[in-house]
């Protein structure tokens, strides 16, 4: 056993902090606290806004975004027609007499 191994064993023996169990083959540390940073949230929302250098890639990106918006519109029900008569209907009140 060389000097580095001996020093490492001493450090491990003297360690008294928290110990977490990791999945096999995946070493990890303690979870970092979630940041509530407005700038970071803005960057995450706008991470796809970076213009691409290739014109074909830029057109493809716009085409894919347009297709995704069309899929979302087809998937969601039209709320205007469903809620148009909601406020016009009289409310029925049931009264129980014992």
Q: Is residue 75's pLDDT more than 90?
A: no
The residue ranges of every structural domain in the chain are 35-76
- The predicted-structure confidence for 31-58, as pLDDT tens digits, reads as follows 777 777 888 888 888 877 777 788 898 8
Burial class of residue 61, CB neighbours in 10 A (0-12, 13-18, 19+): middle
Predicted TM-score (pTM) above 0.85: no
- The predicted-structure confidence for 77-96, as pLDDT tens digits, reads as follows 765 554 455 555 656 666 66
């Amino acid at each position: 056993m060389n000097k580095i191994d001996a020093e490492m064993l001493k450090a491990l023996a003297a360690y008294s902090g928290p110990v977490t169990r990791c999945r096999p083959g995946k070493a990890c540390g303690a979870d970092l606290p979630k940041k509530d940073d407005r700038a970071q949230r803005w960057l995450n929302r706008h991470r796809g806004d970076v213009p691409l250098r290739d014109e074909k890639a830029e057109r493809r990106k716009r085409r894919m975004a347009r297709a995704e918006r069309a899929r979302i519109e087809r998937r969601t029900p039209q709320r205007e027609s469903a809620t148009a008569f909601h406020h016009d209907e009289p409310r029925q009140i049931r009264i129980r007499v014992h």
